[in-house]
Structure 1
Amino acid sequence: MSTTQPGMFQCGSCKKNYKRLDHLARHVRSHTQTKPYKCHVCPKAFTRPDLLKRHVAGHGSQAGDSSVAEQPRYMPGRVSKACKACSTNHLRCSDEKPCRRCQEKGIECKWNDSMELDSDFQSEEQQQDEAIFSQDDASSSMAGFPDHTSIGSTSGSSVMEQPSLDMLTPQTSHSLFQNLGKSTRHRTQVRGSPQLDPSMNTNIDPLFFPLPDLNLLSGGWANPDANNVDMYTYNQLDDIDLRFLDSYNTSIPFEVRSIQPTPRGAQTPRAASHTDPGEPAAMCTEAFQNSHWKFRPNAKDHAGAEEHNLSLPATDSAYPSPESGVALDSNTRVTSAKLEGPARDRILMMVVNSCRSDHLSKAVASFPSAELLDTLLQYYLTSPVTHATSFIHAASFNPNGKRPELVAAMAACGAVLTSDPALSKLGYAIQECLRIAVAKHWEQDNTLVRDLQLTQAFVITLEMGIWSGLPRKVEIAESFFNPVLTMMRRDGKFKRSVYSQSKTMQSPGLVSREEWFQWVEDESFKRLAFRMLSHDANTSAALLVSPSVSYAEILLPLPEHADLWTAASPEQWNSLKASRRQDQPLFVADVIDDPDILNNHTDSVDIYVAIMAVLSCTWAMCWEYLQLSSLQRSRPRRWNTLVTEMRKDELLKLLGHLKLSLSADTSADPEIQMRLELALLHLHMPFEDIQIFAGMEGPERARAVYPTVRDWVKSEAARHTIFHAAQIMHIAKHSPRGSMRGPMAIILYHASLAFWVYGLLSDQSSLSRALSQNVYLDEPDSIALQRFKGFGQGQPCIRWRTEIQGEGEVVISVPLSQPDKVMEAVMGIVRSNFTGMPVPHLTEKLVQLMGELENSAKRKLDA
């Protein structure tokens, strides 16, 4: 007579044995109250897939889904757990406890204790959701923000402490797989267990069922009969076995904290409460509606709406002269030739031909003088923000011999850079005229679509529009980039074949001026192409749109060394070229393949342009990953997470290698540092979902993405995100005065939003914060930071230098659990960057948006 063999899988808590691993997993979930199977329609979660399928079928029947309702086995009358009385008598019970039958009979309704634990656990999570999504009925979305439960008061008991998984030893692994074959023989006979319908979107990957971290090996293994091994059954693995084993190749099969985000478009139903659960996100909806992302056209918006700004205001004591708004050192001229009267008249004629007759007389009478236009031109060329001389050849630039459109575009951009109100209005009015004038030239003579100066002028106007902070100009600049990109693309300017290698003369005296000018024009087109690539990447990050330039089409060689580009004469250019080593051309793909290669070509390529080109292509790769990851989250049954995670790992390695390979001079550039950190930031965070949660698309969409954002905040990726956000903040602190504008201001705003959502939704209790050691995220990487990023140990903080009355300037520690203080610190960095200077319009709009986020966080914490 054969004796029953004990199960080889043992629970680490109650020591109960099981013959199958899935039975043990189901048992341990009764201890841990883990519910890995989440409904994609409502926030409920279940411990078993069959319960989830039955629950989802109930949704289908309520919505009138005939395809689901026709299945008789999943009628909505079935309940998840019957009470003991109904179970003993084989009667139908109800989900509400005590059940209706026991109440009618007047008997005590008893059910399993684990059911109570499940209910309590679910209610705690619902309470946390309501603490985030709640509003007083008498308050409005902005002025009277609702009373909320304090974020820091969330009980720590709702966060499950998971035991660690011991390592498999060779001995235990051998015993495990010896008995796996035995259990397979019995498992093939039991095929009646319900399986999830593949057509049903239950947000479960059938290949990788998330099993909890069960501490399976902490208890003693049952001793199997090692001598009774059937090698035939050992090799007879069925589909379930193969799926389980295959999951080891892609994920930890006992991972409890795997994120199961809500698919895009799915909305969680409102809680049965007197409060509106979606209103936290509406707190900033109006602020987003008034931001530069939202253009709401009206009848007053048209091309001639700014023509009255073409004339400068009359001088008085408050506004002595237009030149007073330009802080330009007379010793920093870039061009030797000054702009003279005839060049100014050509610019005025271009403006007159582009505007309506209503404002002509006033514009002609008060148009800027040649001296002012020359000052604005020099201001543009010398500004450290624009890097204008990286694509405009200053040594050969004579404003009196160039097209008036190019000179006007440079002067207009210089006027906007001053941030003086009158000059900024003048610059934007000239920009509007330029947009029409350049298009007229292209329409009247199609050969001019290959003209370098007109293309340069148009690109400058697009840069002005994108970073203006004015919704209409932003939308026009975004849409008008495609025509000029198409012209450059059709002319082959992104390919190698159109750029001929210049020949080096052996004698400096033999070089001709025409040859120099030809090299300058070829190099200018090359640098203009890389300028457009960088502009496209910045626009993509600012507006969260797909890049228009593919990283795969950047096939042109990198620009030559900056010394050759800035040579003042043909002789100096040829002498420098003859003294340098003639290497093979370097391409962006070469640097992406091996970032260290730049250190071997420091005397042959322009390092700044090369790094910016590589970062722009890397951003396009990161955006591609973000789109695939978003699609994978919304359709997890179709797209395997293994593919996207491998792509993410490769991008992280590339960015890390690039960061290490930068030279000291290059890495000191704050724009390069911030763009590198921005790519790392976005690889770890669902930024679009976070911005929607903040209120960008209204309360309904905020309610839909809340589960995704909440789960993300609890993950390791969130801790990596706030580390990179703190590094961006640290770079901004030490950036040159007046540089927090344009792309850098956008990057700092992205970092602030990461701080805000982490501080708002992180569930650190007051006691745990008091016992944790401060970890300063805005410091260089350290062991404490590694522990925080990997294990969440410590309380994340940033340092803030502020003025305290009676003590002067002091450095204080601001924990991220106080998001209002963190937002105040970020805004303080921006204001200190413009001390004694007017703040650009875009930067001011972003500061106002951060102020709204600060107020919303303050109201929630004070509630």
Structure 2
Amino acid sequence: MPPFGAVQDAYQVPDFGPASMAFPDFFEQVMMPGVEMSNHTSVVPPDVSNFTSDFTFDAGDFDFGFLASGLTRPPTAQGHRLEDNSRVPGTDQTTHSDVQLRSEAFKRSPWSWNHWIPERSSHAFSGQDVIDVRQERVDARDQLTTPDSVRLVHCDLRHAERDRMIRVVTQVAHTRLTMPSFPSLELLEDLVDVFLLQDSSAIDSYIHSATFASDVTCTELLLAVVAAGARYIALAPVWKMGLVIHEVVRIAIGALLERDNKATRDLQPLQAILLGLDIGVWSGFRRKTEIALSFLQPLVTMLAWSNAFMKFSYQDVIPLPDDADDVLVDKWRAWTEREAKKRLILHTFLHDSQLAILYAKNPLISPAQIMMPLPACRELWLAPNSHAWRNAYLRLGPPSQAETPAMMEFFGHNAVLDHSVGVYDKVLCMLVACHGLGHEIWQYRAHARLLAGWKKTNFRRDRRSDHSRLQRDLLDDLTSFQAHCDLQASSTPEIMLTLELLMMLLHVDIEDVQTFSGKLGEGEARRVFPKIQQWSQNAESRVAIFHAGQIFRVARTFEKTRLRDFYAVALYHAALTLWVYGMITTSAARKSGRQSPSAATQRLSNTSHQSLIQPPRIPLDLTDDRAARSFQLLGQGTAGVYNLQSEFMPLSSSRGLMGTAASILKDNFPQSSNGLPPLIENLANLMGEIGKLSGHD
């Protein structure tokens, strides 16, 4: 991956030779093994499942001289920023042959072909052994936060808290980490404020900002919040510093739990663990992602063993009109801790479900486990002080915890919220319910893979009939849920995109798509090709690409800087599904001479002449889906999506399709000139590389 924020032509397309050999050798060998290959050396495609990188955090990269004057000034010209970082080592700006361009593309991180194996000497601070940020404050132009977010609180840090953080950092890594300078008090305050701002406006907020006080917050959580806040800063020295502190937190939490096992029942250490997992999984770097994926189980175990999933663990905390101020504050803090634990569980469930969907791994938390009461509404959760909380509580009159429906009950009866308007956090509950259905989609896909290997006995045919019926039932559930959300004014793009993704995954095995694309090599791609080819000829594939196109539509509606993490990868999966469908159908049409549903024109023969007829365009990313519904049934027309310039991109145009997806991602981060978050940069570049593979405009 090029350095964070480096400018490159992500869509420069190599010359793949004559138009008749437009697909590169890898896909020609897989789809048409009998065709004579060109003389070009065959180069395998990038690992399409890998959107992380091995960015080097060498000490030499930590050049903080340009920060000496602070960041309250306008950022320096982009040219200055790119003097040393705009080129990838080993490349130049001269013209390359097509084979050389492809080879270089596949060698560059994060698309190495072989499975990633960490170096034997790698450890927590390998290549990132310096903290030297001489920054005073963070300018608003460098904060990748939602513009409409309103700052509810300001965290006042004291030198005592900064000293505590320095002490933990030196204790954890005193022999492996050097600190010419530690972040200033003002910068630490800014990072905490940025995180609290972003978390408070998130659907699944789980850190209570109004009661967040640095003097009573454990040092590990303070450091985790600083590292999480650095994720929303575009300046490389700041977000790199956040990744170093993230490693400190990961090790320090383990030491804390070893020193005092009772900490497994305290809220703040659990919050710090989950924050660390969030940072690692969505960091965009291989090592951090792998470790974060591996360490969710301990958190789930701690929550389960503390009975946090159970309803009886949540006691009523009721404010009274005549409560004295000190009593009221104590009640408010007790209520917020109880509510924060609910939201911690729900965020953990969403985190687990998102990883299961994206990485096709077994989820750790079942919806049947979540028997705690529904979370309270955001008006109560975001109340700025104890008096505002009491006033809202007395006005809303929420039921007791014993009378509050359990989250597990809500999964099967979403209408329960209609009878308690304003009492519960409806948007959060609906998002969690989406992922409850996501678990059923995951089980359906796992069952489909098992069925594919079973012999067609009468017993197994019954299983297949049940499997098809399950698909119809799940589609009905998702469609009904989507219709219910469409009627709600509180529905959000996050919910709608999740539903579209689930409906897409119900009709396509994303593992097969990635395998055909080259994830596991040519042999595995050849093995899965007949299955993908058969899928592309059925109506099921057209349903899948319709919902993939709808993901493009919903992604455009996200608030600025919100299309990141899970939702950014979901857009990538949608683009990959459309790309594979377009490639397969175009290849089939090329071999048979028939019209492809992803081609731009249709050629008809008669006795006198050949004429070109323009087939109807089928935009998959518009809300008016009558033509798209007809396409799903009949397969007639040219399917495609519109780019940001309102130009129609047929699915046969790989570069146009992938360029559109990458543009949607980048357009969600318009403010800073100092680069994109690493994961977003990785995804945009990966889609640019994939767009080049078929050689189609």
TM-score band by shorter chain is: 0.7 to 0.9
Aligned residue type for 1:772: P
Given the superposition, is the C-alpha separation of residues 593 and 417 from structure 1 closer, same or farther in structure 2, using an over 3 Å criterion? Answer: same
C-alpha distance after superposition, 1:53-79 (max 9, x if no partner): xxxxxxxxxxxxxxxxxxxxxxxxxxx
CA distance in 2: counterparts of 1:725 and 1:438, whole angstroms:
40
Contact 1:403 1:453 in 2 (8 A): yes
Q: Does 1:741 align with 2:584?
A: no
Given the superposition, is the C-alpha separation of residues 292 and 733 from structure 1 closer, same or farther in structure 2, using an over 3 Å criterion? Answer: farther
C-alpha distance after superposition, 1:216-247 (max 9, x if no partner): xxxxxxxxxxxxxxxxxxxxxxxxxxxxxxxx
Aligned residue type for 1:542: L
Aligned residue type for 1:794: G
Of residues 363, 368, 373, the one that matches 1:557 is: 373
Of residues 356, 359, 368, the one that matches 1:540 is: 356
Q: Does 1:589 align with 2:399?
A: no
Residue of structure 1 equivalent to 2:278: 463
CA distance in 2: counterparts of 1:682 and 1:627, whole angstroms:
12
CA distance in 2: counterparts of 1:355 and 1:386, whole angstroms:
34
382-391 vs 675-684, greater mean Cα deviation: 382-391
Residue of structure 2 equivalent to 1:606: 425
Aligned residue type for 1:778: D
338-347 vs 828-837, greater mean Cα deviation: 828-837
Residue of structure 1 equivalent to 2:234: 419
Given the superposition, is the C-alpha separation of residues 289 and 632 from structure 1 closer, same or farther in structure 2, using an over 3 Å criterion? Answer: farther
Given the superposition, is the C-alpha separation of residues 468 and 509 from structure 1 closer, same or farther in structure 2, using an over 3 Å criterion? Answer: same
Deviation for aligned residue 1:296: 1.9
Residue of structure 2 equivalent to 1:801: 644
Aligned residue type for 2:552: M
Equivalences for 1:498-517 in 2 at 5 Å?
498-505=313-320, 507=322, 509=324, 512-517=328-333
Deviation for aligned residue 1:127: 11
Of residues 135, 160, 175, the one that matches 1:357 is: 175
CA distance in 1: counterparts of 2:197 and 2:279, whole angstroms:
16
Q: Secondary structure at the residue paired with 1:296?
A: coil
Aligned residue type for 1:696: K
Residue of structure 1 equivalent to 2:50: none
Of residues 169, 179, 185, the one that matches 1:370 is: 185
Residue of structure 2 equivalent to 1:525: 341
Contact 1:499 1:522 in 2 (8 A): yes
Aligned residue type for 2:259: Q
Given the superposition, is the C-alpha separation of residues 374 and 291 from structure 1 closer, same or farther in structure 2, using an over 3 Å criterion? Answer: farther
Q: Secondary structure at the residue paired with 1:797?
A: strand
Given the superposition, is the C-alpha separation of residues 134 and 647 from structure 1 closer, same or farther in structure 2, using an over 3 Å criterion? Answer: farther
TM-score (norm: length of structure 2): 0.78
Q: Secondary structure at the residue paired with 2:512?
A: helix
Q: Does 1:648 align with 2:485?
A: no
Deviation for aligned residue 1:652: 1.3
CA distance in 1: counterparts of 2:438 and 2:283, whole angstroms:
22
Q: Does 1:854 align with 2:696?
A: no
Deviation for aligned residue 1:383: 2.1
Q: Does 1:485 align with 2:303?
A: no
C-alpha distance after superposition, 1:545-603 (max 9, x if no partner): 11111122111111111111122333332332222244431233333323333333331
Given the superposition, is the C-alpha separation of residues 331 and 712 from structure 1 closer, same or farther in structure 2, using an over 3 Å criterion? Answer: closer
Deviation for aligned residue 1:770: 3.6
Equivalences for 1:306-317 in 2 at 5 Å?
307-312=128-133
CA distance in 1: counterparts of 2:127 and 2:430, whole angstroms:
38
Contact 1:716 1:792 in 2 (8 A): yes
Given the superposition, is the C-alpha separation of residues 656 and 636 from structure 1 closer, same or farther in structure 2, using an over 3 Å criterion? Answer: farther
Equivalences for 1:147-158 in 2 at 5 Å?
none
Aligned residue type for 1:731: V
Aligned residue type for 1:780: T
C-alpha distance after superposition, 1:30-67 (max 9, x if no partner): xxxxxxxxxxxxxxxxxxxxxxxxxxxxxxxxxxxxxx
CA distance in 2: counterparts of 1:437 and 1:460, whole angstroms:
13
Of residues 131, 135, 138, the one that matches 2:40 is: 138
C-alpha distance after superposition, 1:773-826 (max 9, x if no partner): 111111114332221111212221211233xxxxxxxx2111122233211221
Point out which structure has higher relative CO (alpha carbons under 8 A, 6+ apart).
Answer: 2
Given the superposition, is the C-alpha separation of residues 776 and 496 from structure 1 closer, same or farther in structure 2, using an over 3 Å criterion? Answer: same
**Identity of matched residues, %:** 27
C-alpha distance after superposition, 1:80-138 (max 9, x if no partner): xxxxxxxxxxxxxxxxxxxxxxxxxxxxxxxxxxxxxxxxxxxxxx9994179874343
C-alpha distance after superposition, 1:588-641 (max 9, x if no partner): 333332333333333111112212211222111110111001111221536421
Q: Does 1:721 align with 2:525?
A: no
Deviation for aligned residue 1:325: 7.1
Given the superposition, is the C-alpha separation of residues 833 and 515 from structure 1 closer, same or farther in structure 2, using an over 3 Å criterion? Answer: closer
Q: CA RMSD in A?
A: 3.1
Aligned residue type for 2:659: E
Residue of structure 1 equivalent to 2:667: 832
Equivalences for 1:239-258 in 2 at 5 Å?
none
Of residues 152, 163, 174, the one that matches 1:334 is: 152
Contact 1:334 1:378 in 2 (8 A): no
Equivalences for 1:377-392 in 2 at 5 Å?
377-383=192-198, 387=202, 390-392=205-207
Q: Does 1:816 align with 2:651?
A: yes
Aligned residue type for 1:732: A
Residue of structure 2 equivalent to 1:754: 577
Of residues 259, 262, 272, the one that matches 1:447 is: 262
Of residues 496, 506, 509, the one that matches 2:311 is: 496
CA distance in 1: counterparts of 2:495 and 2:553, whole angstroms:
14
Q: Secondary structure at the residue paired with 2:215?
A: coil
CA distance in 1: counterparts of 2:480 and 2:624, whole angstroms:
16
Residue of structure 1 equivalent to 2:446: 627
Deviation for aligned residue 1:533: 0.4
Of residues 645, 669, 680, the one that matches 1:843 is: 680
CA distance in 1: counterparts of 2:289 and 2:367, whole angstroms:
24
CA distance in 1: counterparts of 2:655 and 2:577, whole angstroms:
13
CA distance in 1: counterparts of 2:450 and 2:303, whole angstroms:
32
Contact 2:548 2:575 in 1 (8 A): yes
CA distance in 2: counterparts of 1:599 and 1:428, whole angstroms:
43
Aligned residue type for 1:813: F
Q: Secondary structure at the residue paired with 1:339?
A: coil
Equivalences for 1:20-169 in 2 at 5 Å?
129-130=31-32, 135-141=37-43
Residue of structure 1 equivalent to 2:534: 711
CA distance in 2: counterparts of 1:679 and 1:293, whole angstroms:
30
CA distance in 1: counterparts of 2:105 and 2:473, whole angstroms:
36
Given the superposition, is the C-alpha separation of residues 378 and 384 from structure 1 closer, same or farther in structure 2, using an over 3 Å criterion? Answer: same
Of residues 111, 118, 142, the one that matches 1:290 is: 111
Q: Secondary structure at the residue paired with 1:662?
A: helix
Given the superposition, is the C-alpha separation of residues 829 and 544 from structure 1 closer, same or farther in structure 2, using an over 3 Å criterion? Answer: same
Q: Provide structure 1 residue ranges, at least 5 long, that are not aligned to the other structure.
A: 1-125, 145-280, 803-810
Residue of structure 2 equivalent to 1:787: 630
CA distance in 2: counterparts of 1:844 and 1:786, whole angstroms:
34
Q: Provide structure 2 residue ranges, at least 5 long, that are not aligned to the other structure.
A: 1-27, 47-101, 590-594, 604-611
CA distance in 2: counterparts of 1:771 and 1:133, whole angstroms:
30
CA distance in 2: counterparts of 1:516 and 1:135, whole angstroms:
72
Q: Does 1:573 align with 2:389?
A: yes
Contact 1:380 1:388 in 2 (8 A): no
Contact 2:138 2:190 in 1 (8 A): no
Aligned residue type for 2:152: V
C-alpha distance after superposition, 1:503-547 (max 9, x if no partner): 453545585332222222111111100010011111122222111
Deviation for aligned residue 1:434: 0.4
Given the superposition, is the C-alpha separation of residues 767 and 606 from structure 1 closer, same or farther in structure 2, using an over 3 Å criterion? Answer: same
666-675 vs 616-625, greater mean Cα deviation: 666-675
Deviation for aligned residue 1:345: 0.9
CA distance in 2: counterparts of 1:437 and 1:776, whole angstroms:
52
Contact 1:774 1:796 in 2 (8 A): yes
Given the superposition, is the C-alpha separation of residues 831 and 330 from structure 1 closer, same or farther in structure 2, using an over 3 Å criterion? Answer: closer
C-alpha distance after superposition, 1:682-722 (max 9, x if no partner): 00101101100000111111010000001101111111111
